[in-house]
A and B are shown apart, each in its own frame.
Chain A
């Protein structure tokens, strides 16, 4: 309870020829978190070297690379498949030996054929483009070249040119501008070139073709179409192959990945010439199973030792140990940091508090129902994504909490629920509501005090967990000082509260102003508060004088919980404004005076109503979620939690297509 999984250090020692079966077994178990061996100068590491990959590692990697190139060409991902039945590794291996080379060749041929055709298509496109300007010319293009005494110019020109030399010209209007084809005697070539330059002539080469441009273009277009058909044929064949083989390929990918993972495992072991040592971590309650299985596959020829991790000295990887309800919240813990081995695991409290905070912010029955439905619908689409599933479970819990608090606040899409008074302080603001027959009266001071109470309780809880931390894992004088410092923080907070209660009457808080003054004009509660404050401060100072700087956080962190009210009020305000604009200003008046334009207004009003509220939900889901997270991370965790534990990541990838 409130602690991470108890871990054991496991040592496996054996002859090198037993390494492969041991690795295979470890991979199958998915329990053993390998602690990588580091070659260094330390005495106990003398004589050990990092292991070398198992035989066949290179071949496996190469094959994996080839398979991945095919799956990339098919753009298939393992997530797209939900295998109906799992295959046995040995069977698939045989299939790979037989089937894979053929598939590979087929795909390779098709792909190279496709590339050739694509290049051919591009070539044709270029030719057609080069011919296009000459489409209007009724002359065989072969006639425009190969003369000794004639020079041809062709290109775009903005105005017509009348050179004072013997010439023949042809103009045509094309898409890119006016095309000029000019024939002059070769003797005037330089003269004409200068003139053309002045007229900003852009030369276009005359295509090296036989026949008129139109004829050639028609022929090339026909060829282009042919290429297109062939390409479609190849795509079709590839698609067929994809349909036929992609599941097999993905399974091969998994098999080879497993192989590669196995072959590379020795890189994390310590080895000598004849033996290997694998060191790692296993949850203590599973250490026995692991040992039995490893011994079984090696006929008791390896040595397996396990020892419970020492909470003070060891730094094992961290695996959460939570009840099912709190498990999805581990995701939120991982965003911050996993607990250290010597730390209380607060996941359970976060799992409870997070939805409550969220409900306090977005307490609205309508919004809660929308979120609940959304979380179930999204779950359908996001099957197979573990983290998304966890997040959706958190959202679901928040949605349920929203509905509950919606009833407590009496809110439905910003309206008051008819006939239901709000149990909690009312958040109904006075926004365009006078003609609904009731006048709202938001209880802001009460809301403020209510959120402050949430803060007081939660921060006290945090400090109590701090005490638990020291009580469990501290030692010596440090333990006592640490515990007292946390007690001191609680005393300071409650001392200030007592002093406030005795000075001011506040709603939702005990009123201690009535006590008579006795010593120096101060009443008993005030004196109790002052004593708590002073003694608490002394406890804090005993741990560290620097902590005095943190004293104002007693107030600021409690007041920080006012965001539960602030963000909540803003969501209520937006909802009420949407309702006012759409219902009171657009829909209602036009329902009373019916007209064609009125119908449009009503439809538009309904649209704004729907999208406005959806927008508000999304906005508050983000902001509310972030604020609740922050209240946990900053106001709660800073009291006792540091984090920084390494994630327990057992050796062995997850199998989806292979049998275990």
Chain B
């Protein structure tokens, strides 16, 4: 208690705070990349549906193009997991 009043931090508090920071960083890594992926896929996806409506044969190709941005969020996940574990 005295420590808190004095505005000092114990080693445990520093460690706990670091853990929290890590958790926040991991959350940011996943969520921001998730948003980025969603935004990219939204545009590609709508164009892909349009293209498929015109010509059914391109389905395989546009499916491929649509899932390309997924890599962004996977990288976010990798970074987050590396931060936590």
Contact = CB atoms under 8 A, between A and B. Distances in A.
Nearest to A451: B78
A562 B64 contact: no
A634 B68 contact: yes
Prevailing SS type, chain B contact patch = helix
A626 B75 CA distance: 18
Nearest to B84: A444
B63 interface: yes
A630 B67 contact: yes
Given A633-B60, A633-B64, A444 B71 contact: no
Given A560-B71, A562-B74, A566-B77, A630 B64 contact: yes
A172 interface: no
A432 B18 CA distance: 24
Nearest to A633: B64
Contacts of B64: 336, 630, 633-634
A293 interface: no
A453 to B, nearest CB: 15
Nearest to A563: B74
A335 B58 CA distance: 9
Nearest to A562: B78
Interface string B37-64: 0000000000000000000000111011
Contact of B71 (A445, A556, A565, A633): A556
Interface string A539-559: 000000000000000001001
B70 A337 contact: no
B21 interface: no
Contact of B74 (A334, A336, A444, A560): A560
B36 to A, nearest CB: 15
Contacts of B75: 556, 559
B81 to A, nearest CB: 5
**Band of interface residues on B:** 10 to 19
Contacts of A560: 71, 74
A448 B70 contact: no
Contacts of B78: 448, 559, 562, 566
Interface string A163-201: 000000000000000000000000000000000000000
Interface in A606-646: 626-627, 629-630, 633-634
Contacts of B68: 634
Nearest to A333: B60
A566 B67 contact: no
Contacts of B71: 556, 560
B25 to A, nearest CB: 16
Nearest to A570: B77
Given A556-B71, A562-B78, A566-B77, A335 B63 contact: yes
A133 B35 CA distance: 62
Contacts of A630: 63-64, 67, 70
Nearest to B81: A444
Nearest to B76: A566
A634 B81 contact: no
A425 to B, nearest CB: 11
Nearest to A560: B71
Interface of B: 59-61, 63-64, 67-68, 70-71, 74-75, 77-78, 81-82, 84-85
Given A559-B75, A627-B67, A633-B60, 5 more contacts: A335-B59, A559-B74, A560-B74, A563-B74, A565-B81
8 contacts: A337-B60, A444-B81, A556-B71, A563-B74, A626-B63, A627-B67, A630-B67, A634-B67
